[in-house]
Structure 1
């Protein structure tokens, strides 16, 4: 082999190693409220194909709280809720009684920016290009840094427009191919919306799962059409499950004002939001509030400093002193029964109805691999491994998910040391 041929061969080898060390692209897709078993009573050929072509977890466990914003932020930060402090869908201030609805919080950086960096920012700080398409948390600034490309879900955005779903996929594919983005997070508001409105057992929920399945098929076609099969890893997951709300005449619904005078004893409350409630007692009234709520049926009341460690909520500075968790299917009513949802979440994350899905495929994932269940907090280090970036501090562990990967991380040859060694060899040869 001539010297020039050796030089060319080594240059190509170093380029291959450097490319492997840089990692492939990553698309994270979240279908809000997709319960772990929603594909078991519906014909879902594309989800079934993913089982053969990639990785499926039996289910994953969302964090307490099983709500959209807290759970999504745990996925994108790898931190428990007590660490990232996005402790509710609603932005609130217990001192001023400020309460801001979920969609209005999506660009309120003061709610999201609490010192924990999401994956978008960590990746950008290491040279990656990232985007958020309607993903909760993507519209905020973090220590003054914004995500490179952001689309925030409008207030009047329809959740179930299948044509728009496909257009969103086309947009994301163009970001990867035409603008060389490395990480994109894509959020869909279904099947959560129909689960709330109709309940998880309604035929409309089954139809929206069929629509999701068709959309996943369209995603696979788009990846192939854009020639991304060898360079794009995809993770499909969700934030929580869904359960049927128990109502009269089947059950006696909870009205907390029957057990304590909320106006007299509480200075702040969010007690009409599914299965999870928070309360700030007036000064000197904490014990009285706790005792009164302890007598109410179909719920469990906790002092914040006595919350089970497994909840990973007790260290939160933002969470009020009293936390209430309803039994599965019971919604919390503060004073009147005005609750219209047929399905809801926010319940204990140990309940199977709160578990959700995990699917993954792409060049770094094994095929036809069934994973044991795991907590969603572990998705973060997996995404960092796929992107070949150094994670920010997190509560997850790569050991939980690394068996999903080819060769302990797919295309990664070994480590930066391998690149250095090859460069030294190359310079010695040259």
Structure 2
């Protein structure tokens, strides 16, 4: 009998050891295609995206946070926090006191804009023994309390976003990090179809061509996963940051020029009002009500005092946002003093508009197959990723209960707890003299 117990303990120990090794081998690839509206694949032939519906999980759509901009939305995904908590409140880094405005691409490397005391998933995972990397992903190039992501590839300003050969090379690069260097988490960012949506508009044939290019890239990804022998170990989440809508212009509409309704030079000390559907102002001392009243008379927009915004915006507690927030009606671009706007499409509008909704796909050994999820907010992706990586999440605003039905039984590939339960059950049946 003692021999039986010894053999049982040895077998259980081996099984637990294998389980722990499996836990350490957790691998997750998060891919973001900037500006991929929730319905962009519905008017294009996309066989690879269609196959993902069969082989994995699809959400009907997901809702980005207010603001529907690249940096705020990506940081919500990677932190699980609302914008008012993580404080990356714009694509541009700005300072309302000095009137500093740093363009989006330059902001990506400015740690003071991103390091707000809210740790992103890369840092949380690294602090629990995992290896992480960021390839072009917003926020990946910053330091957080002096700690950087293990490996970072930054996108150069002016770098073309639509080279399909380079897209495939980027996939091979990040998959080699998994297969050859045992990375656990890699985030990969593509700047399309956002660029073509801005330049041509969401209904232009060129946008459809880019969606087909994305579809071919997904097909290449799946083949490359098999080639790198990652099929049984790598989970993949594919999502985006916001949607896109057609910008309304003359002669169809009268475009918004806010200086027609108030003297910005006299009443405002800081403004960002030439950035899609979202704008901010800092009134001069004692003039907040006058600014609010004047903007309330302007057509095709809604003006808010920051601390009176609806709680559902999750913006009102932000310290960085200026006192006055302006949100244009869908498709109306905000202009301050004159119209210099050339984009055919844009975002930054209220996240309840369907044109601002975006995509979610997932596949891999942890995910169910042929599973259609109801819509959910992007803030809930973070606890799902922590579950897949088997790490303790940092404080966040999401909930695993929203997404856990996507996962196979137990939601993970490890079997440690099951082994111990089986072991205790067997031991209870043995009597050792």
Using the TM superposition, give the Cα deviation of residue 21 of structure 1 relative to its aligned residue in structure 2, in angstroms: 4.1
* 2:374 pairs with 1:372: yes
Using structure 1 for the length normalisation, give the TM-score. 0.96
Name the Cα RMSD after superposition: 2.0
1:283 aligns with 2:285: yes
Residue of structure 1 equivalent to 2:146:
144
How many residue pairs get aligned? The number is 426
2:12/2:419 contact within 8 Å kept:
no
Match of 2:213 in 1: 211
CA contact (8 A) 1:255 1:332 kept: yes
Aligned to 2:223: 221
Residue equivalent to 1:242: 244
Q: How do 1:286-297 residues align onto structure 2 when only pairs under 5 Å count?
A: 286-297=288-299
Question: Which stretches of structure 1, 4 residues or more, deviate above 6 A after TM superposition?
Answer: 1-4, 419-422
Distance of 1:357 and 1:21 partners within structure 2: 28
Give the corresponding residue for 1:324.
326
SS at match of 1:407: coil
Q: Per-residue deviation at 1:151?
A: 0.6
Query: What residue is the counterpart of 2:58 in the other structure?
Result: 56
Structure 2 gaps of 5+ residues are none
Give the equivalent residue in structure 1 for 2:83: 81
Question: For 1:161, which of 157, 163, 169 is the aligned residue?
Answer: 163
Q: Which residue of 2 aligns with 1:187?
A: 189
Instruction: Measure the CA separation in 2 of the matches of 1:352 and 1:23.
Output: 38
Structure 1 residue 264 displacement after superposition? 0.3
Q: Are 2:111 and 1:109 aligned?
A: yes
Shift of 1:18: 1.7
For structure 1, list consecutive stretches of 5 or more residues without a partner in the other structure: none
| Matched position secondary structure for 1:120 | helix
SS of aligned partner of 1:27: strand
1:57-112 per-residue CA deviation (whole Å, 9 max, x = no partner) reads 00000000000000000000000000000000000000000000000011100000
**1:366 touches 1:406 (CA, 8 Å); kept in 2?**
yes
Distance (whole Å) between structure 2 residues aligned to residue 331 and residue 184 of structure 1 = 35
**Secondary structure at the residue paired with 1:83?**
helix
Displacement of 1:315 in angstroms is 0.2
The question of whether the paired residues in 2 share the 8 Å contact of 1:23 and 1:386 is answered with no
Alignment match, 1:19:
21
Q: Which residue of 2 aligns with 1:400?
A: 402
- State how far apart, in whole Å, the 1-side matches of 2:420 and 2:63 are: 37
- Write out per-residue CA displacement over residues 386-416 of structure 1, whole angstroms, 9 at most, x where no aligned residue: 0000000000000000000001313243759
8 Å CA contact retained: 1:36, 1:355: yes
